[in-house]
Structure 1
Amino acid sequence: MSDLTTLLEVGGPVAALGGGAAYARAKHPAAYWSTVGLPVSTVRLLSTYGSVMEACGLTVAPSRLRVLAAKAMTRREVRPVPPRRGLLRPTTTGLRIRLRLAPGQEPADFAASAERLRHAWGVHAVYVTPVKPGVIELRLVGYDVLRRVRMPRKIADGFLKVPVALREDATPFVRDYRTIPHQLTLGATLSGKSMYLRHLIAGLAPQPVALVGIDCKRGVELAPFAPRLSALATDPEQAAELLPVLVKEMEDRYDLIKARQGIAPGTPDEEITSDIWGLPEHERPVPVVLFVDEVAELFLVATKKDEERRDEMVTQLIRLAQLGRAAGMYLEVCGQRFGAELGKGATMLRAQLTGRVCHRVNDEASAKMALGDIAPEAVMAACSIPPERPGLAVAGDTSGGWSRIRTPYLSLTDAAETCHASAGLVPDLPALEPFRPDVPERPVEHAAPVVLPHPVTD
C-alpha cells in the first residue's frame, strides 16, 4: 500500500505536468515555448554548439599560434574552431544569435546547413540573415508561427506602409508602396486573397491617400469599403470609363512635375525633382492606390466591340504600371487566374508588377506566371499550399527573394467599420467625383431615456 501511495504522490504530479505540457504544445505553442521550449533549446544550443558546428562542417582549422600554444601547454590535439558566437537573445517566438564568420566562410554555408541545425537544436526552423560583412544572425523559430498567426505588437509602420501578414520566420510582412509600387496577387476561391486585400484597405484607410477600386464581381468585394473609396467601378464598362480618367490624372501630375522643373537660375538643387515626393508639401498631390479585383474580367471579350474596349483598358493599365510610380499612383492587381492566354498585354502588364503574392491556386500555370521568373522553388512552394490553411501564401519580388506568409483573420465587419470611421479622410479629387460610390446613410440610433415617463393622473 505504501508503494502505491508513493507512486501516486510522485507519478501523479509528473503525469499532470507531462500532460499539461503536451496540451500546451498542441493548443498554445507560444506559452509552451516560453515556459518549456526556450530553456530546453537554450541549454541544448550552449552545450552542443561546438560539436554541432563541427558535424555540419562549419568549423575552420585553428591558427598556427593557437596550435603551438595548445601543444606547449596541454600536449593535446587542437580541434577545429567554430565561429565565435554572441549573446543569445530570446524572443516570444524563438532565439536570435549573431555569429562572426571565420576566414573563408560565407553566409551560404550556414544557409545550406540550416536544416541540420534545426534538427540538432530541436527547433521548428532556422533562418540565416547577413548583418554586415563577416557577421550573420541565426534566427531560431521555436514553433510553427503560421499555424495561428499573431502579429507582433511593435511594428515599424509608416506612410504607405501596411503590415499585412506574418512571415514564416516570425517577422512582419509589410507592404511598402514606396519601395514596391505595384503588385500582383493571385489566389483561388477560399484561398485568403480577399482577406489579404481586406487588410490592405483597412491599413490604408486611416492614411491620407485616395483609394480607387475596380471590382468586376459587381462590387461584392469592394462595396463594403465604399465610404472610404474615391471611385469604384463594378463592371468592365465602368472600368473603361474610369481608367482614362486615372491616366489623365497621371498626365496632369507629370505636367505639375515638369512645371516645377522649369528651373530658374537661382533654384537650389534640392528643389529639382523627378517625382511628386520632391515637390513641396503644399503642392504635392495625394497618392492614389488602385485596387483591381478579378483582373481576368477586364481581358475577357465576347464581341469585336468588347475586344477594342479590352485593348484600350489593358493599354491604360500598362501605362499606369509603367509611369504611375513617379506620379504617386500605385496598382494592386488581384485575380484567381492570370496567364498569357488572357490575351495581348497580359505578360507585359505582369512585367511591370514588381511584387508578387501567390495564394493557393487551381493550376500550376498561374503559380508559374506569378513566381516562375523569381525562383522555381517558389512555384513549388505555392503549389503545395494546403486548402485547410487559408491565408497562406508565397510572397516575393523581382529581386529573387521569396518567403511564406500568412494573413491573420480580419472580419469584413471590422474592416468596413474602419473605412466608415475614416470616411472623412477621402481626398478632394474633382476628376474622380463622378465615380464616387453611393454610400447609404446609417440609421441614427436614439439612446433610451434614463427615466421612464409616467402618465399624469388627476
Structure 2
Amino acid sequence: MSALWLTPGVVLVAVLLLRWLRPTWYWMAFGVTFAAIRVLIRYRSVMDACGLTVPPSRWRLALARMANRPVPEARSPRILRLRPTATGLVLRLKLRPGQDAYDFSASADRLRHSFALHNVVSREIRSGVVELRMTGYDILKRVRMPPAEPEPDVALRVAVALREDGQVHHRDYRVPGPHALNVGATKSGKSVYQRTLVTGLAPRNVVLVGIDCKNGVELSPLAARFTALADNPGESAELLDALVAYMGRVYELIRAEQRISVGLPDAEITADIWDLPVHLRPVPVVLLVDEVAELALAANKAEEARRDQIVTNLVRLAQLGRAAGIHLEVCGQRFGSELGKGITMLRAQLTGRTAHRVNDETSAHMAFGDISPDAVLAAVQIDKDRPGTAVAGDSSGGWSRIRAPHTTLRKAVDICNAHAHRTPEIPELAPFRPQLPARVLVGEVQPPKHAAASAF
C-alpha cells in the first residue's frame, strides 16, 4: 500500500530529472502539449494586452448599431498554423489591415512573458504573414548541434553555432556578405568559434590562409591544413602582398575566359570564379586574421609604413576579393577608428558581424552600431559565465543570439591532420607554407626531461 502512495512522487522525480538531463525529450513528451494549450487559451487576451489588435471595421460597427447589438471587440491576427518542433512552437499569423510586422518584433519580450516561454523571435514570411518562433527551454545552455547534412564542396556553407530559436547558424560564403568580423573580450569564446569554423572548412576544397600575431599559438596547431601561415606583422605584410598578387592572377584568368561574343549564351558569361568551368575554377580562399589590432599598431615610422601597407591590402582584398573567391574572417578584441587610418573602411566591408562578450558598450557599438541598436544591447548583456555565446548579425539589420559548440583544440588538431592531404598549393603562397613539426614515433627513445630543460 505504501508503494502505491510513493508512485506519484517517483513519477514527479523522474519527470524533473528528465527535464534537467534531457530537456528536448521532456519538451516533446510533456512541455509541447502544455505550451500549445496555454498559447491557444491566452491568445486573444495576450494580443489585446500587447496592443497587437485592430479596432473593428466601420461596416461591423454599422451592422452592430443597426441590429442594436454590443460594439464588436477588437480583432486579433488570425492563426494560420501552430506547429510544434523539437525546441518549441512555430506560430504563423495573418495580419489584419493596418498592422505591421515591426509591432510583433517590438513586442517579442512581452509575448515571451505572457506565454511563459523561454524566447520568442518574430520574422516576416511574406506580405501580411508573420511567424513567431517560440522556444520552450534554454537551448543555448547545453549546445547540441544536430547531425550535419552532407553538402557539396562548392556550397562553402559551414554550421558554426546554434541559434536561440533552435535553428543552426551557418557561415555561408556564397551569399551576400562574404567577409565577416568577429569581436570579443579575452575568454569570451572567440577563439573557439574560429576553431569551429576551421574544423568545418577542413574537409572542404578550400585554401586556408592564417595570420596569427600571437606568435601562432591559436592557428599553428592546425597548420597541417593551412596553405600559408604568418605569425608576426612582418610576415603578415609579405603574405598579404602575395595574396593580392594571387588575386590579380585570378582576375586575369576570369578575363581570359569571358570571351564575350554575340553567339555566347548568357549563362556562360561570368565575372567571378563560380561560373568558370570546373577544370579552370580556382580553389576559394578563406583568410583568417587573429587579433587584427596587432597588425594596426605602430611604434615608429618603419612600423607605420608597414601598417599602412597591411591595412591597404586588407581593404583591397575585402573590396575585390569576393569575385576571386577570397573571403576574410577578421577577429579582434576591438575594431575602432583608434586603430588608425583605413580601419573604418575595412570594417564597412566586413558585413557579417559576430560579437561575443565585450568589455564595454563601445566595442559592441563598433560591431553593431550601424546595424541595430537592439543588437548592441544584446551583446552588452552576454553573461560572462557563458563563454561561446554571441550575437550574430549582418548589414540587413537582422540579428540573433548564438552559441558555438565547445570544440577542443585536440579535436580541431585531429580533424586538420586527417584532412591535411586536401591542402591546396598556390605558387604565390609557397614561401609561407607552415613547417610542420617532426612527429615522434611510438617507442622512440625520448631525451630526459632535465636535458631538455637545460638545453632550453
Instruction: Using structure 1 for the length normalisation, give the TM-score.
Output: 0.89
Partner of 1:298: 295
- The correspondence for 2:92, drawn from 98, 103, 110, is 98
Q: CA deviation at 1:380?
A: 2.2
Q: CA deviation at 1:41?
A: 0.8
Q: What amino acid sits opposite 2:167 in the alignment?
A: T
Q: Using the alignment, how far apart are the partners of 1:216 and 1:248 within structure 2? A: 22
Q: Which moved more, 1:417-426 or 1:119-128?
A: 119-128
CA 1:68–1:345 in 2, change beyond 3 Å: closer, same or farther?
A: closer
Q: CA deviation at 1:156?
A: 8.2
On the 8 A contact 2:81/2:93 being kept in 1, the answer is no
Q: Using the alignment, how far apart are the partners of 1:375 and 1:391 within structure 2? A: 21
Partner of 1:50: 44
- The correspondence for 1:174, drawn from 170, 174, 178, is 170
Does 1:326 pair with 2:320?
no
Q: What's the Cα RMSD here?
A: 2.6
Q: Which moved more, 1:155-164 or 1:367-376?
A: 155-164
SS class of match (2:53): coil
Q: CA deviation at 1:402?
A: 1.7
Does 1:111 pair with 2:105?
yes
Does 1:408 pair with 2:402?
no
Partner of 1:454: none
Q: Using the alignment, how far apart are the partners of 1:127 and 1:136 within structure 2? A: 10
SS class of match (1:238): helix
Does 1:129 pair with 2:153?
no
Partner of 1:139: 133
CA 1:431–1:145 in 2, change beyond 3 Å: closer, same or farther?
A: same
Q: What amino acid sits opposite 1:168 in the alignment?
A: E
CA 1:74–1:16 in 2, change beyond 3 Å: closer, same or farther?
A: farther
SS class of match (1:88): strand
Q: What amino acid sits opposite 1:47 in the alignment?
A: I
Q: CA deviation at 1:251?
A: 0.7
Q: What amino acid sits opposite 1:319 in the alignment?
A: R
On the 8 A contact 2:241/2:313 being kept in 1, the answer is yes
Q: Using the alignment, how far apart are the partners of 1:253 and 1:85 within structure 2? A: 53
CA 1:296–1:116 in 2, change beyond 3 Å: closer, same or farther?
A: closer
On the 8 A contact 1:290/1:332 being kept in 2, the answer is yes
Q: Using the alignment, how far apart are the partners of 2:130 and 2:30 within structure 1? A: 27
Q: Which moved more, 1:403-412 or 1:99-108?
A: 99-108
Does 1:244 pair with 2:244?
no
Does 1:420 pair with 2:414?
no
Q: Using the alignment, how far apart are the partners of 2:356 and 2:247 within structure 1? A: 31
Instruction: Using structure 2 for the length normalisation, give the TM-score.
Output: 0.89
Q: What amino acid sits opposite 2:146 in the alignment?
A: P
SS class of match (1:439): coil
Q: CA deviation at 1:16?
A: 3.4
SS class of match (1:86): strand
Q: CA deviation at 1:191?
A: 0.5
Q: What amino acid sits opposite 1:170 in the alignment?
A: G
- The correspondence for 1:356, drawn from 344, 353, 356, is 353
Q: Which moved more, 1:232-241 or 1:205-214?
A: 232-241
Q: Counterparts of 1:340-379 in structure 2 under 5 Å?
A: 340-379=337-376
Q: Using the alignment, how far apart are the partners of 1:153 and 1:67 within structure 2? A: 55
Q: Using the alignment, how far apart are the partners of 2:173 and 2:187 within structure 1? A: 26
Q: CA deviation at 1:319?
A: 0.7
Partner of 2:223: 226
On the 8 A contact 2:212/2:290 being kept in 1, the answer is yes
Segments of 5+ residues of structure 2 without an aligned counterpart are 444-456
Q: Using the alignment, how far apart are the partners of 1:173 and 1:157 within structure 2? A: 15
Partner of 1:312: 309
Q: Using the alignment, how far apart are the partners of 1:64 and 1:279 within structure 2? A: 60
Q: Using the alignment, how far apart are the partners of 1:164 and 1:440 within structure 2? A: 29
Segments of 5+ residues of structure 1 without an aligned counterpart are 447-458
Partner of 2:252: 255
Q: Which structure would you say has the larger Rg?
A: 1
On the 8 A contact 1:155/1:172 being kept in 2, the answer is no
Partner of 1:195: 192
CA 1:62–1:351 in 2, change beyond 3 Å: closer, same or farther?
A: closer
CA 1:370–1:80 in 2, change beyond 3 Å: closer, same or farther?
A: closer
Q: Using the alignment, how far apart are the partners of 1:133 and 1:160 within structure 2? A: 31
- The correspondence for 1:183, drawn from 172, 180, 185, is 180
Q: CA deviation at 1:282?
A: 1.5
Partner of 1:271: 268
Q: CA deviation at 1:295?
A: 1.0
Q: Using the alignment, how far apart are the partners of 1:75 and 1:264 within structure 2? A: 74
Q: What amino acid sits opposite 1:166 in the alignment?
A: L
**Percent sequence identity over aligned pairs:** 55
Partner of 1:164: 160
Q: What amino acid sits opposite 1:167 in the alignment?
A: R
SS class of match (1:211): strand
On the 8 A contact 1:160/1:176 being kept in 2, the answer is yes
Q: Using the alignment, how far apart are the partners of 1:110 and 1:281 within structure 2? A: 46
- What's the CA shift string for 1:307-342, capped at 9, x where partnerless? 111111111111111111111101111112222111
- What's the CA shift string for 1:107-159, capped at 9, x where partnerless? 22222332332222211122212112222212111011111112233658552
Q: Which moved more, 1:279-288 or 1:24-33?
A: 24-33
Q: Using the alignment, how far apart are the partners of 2:51 and 2:364 within structure 1? A: 36
Q: CA deviation at 1:91?
A: 0.9
Partner of 2:334: 337
Partner of 1:456: none
On the 8 A contact 1:157/1:163 being kept in 2, the answer is no
Q: Using the alignment, how far apart are the partners of 1:54 and 1:345 within structure 2? A: 51
Partner of 2:78: 84
Q: CA deviation at 1:363?
A: 3.0
Q: Using the alignment, how far apart are the partners of 1:196 and 1:92 within structure 2? A: 25
CA 1:368–1:46 in 2, change beyond 3 Å: closer, same or farther?
A: closer
Does 1:15 pair with 2:6?
no
Q: CA deviation at 1:68?
A: 8.9
Does 1:285 pair with 2:282?
yes
SS class of match (1:87): strand
On the 8 A contact 1:339/1:369 being kept in 2, the answer is yes
SS class of match (1:174): strand
CA 1:363–1:9 in 2, change beyond 3 Å: closer, same or farther?
A: same
Q: Using the alignment, how far apart are the partners of 2:353 and 2:162 within structure 1? A: 16
On the 8 A contact 1:322/1:352 being kept in 2, the answer is yes
CA 1:51–1:343 in 2, change beyond 3 Å: closer, same or farther?
A: closer
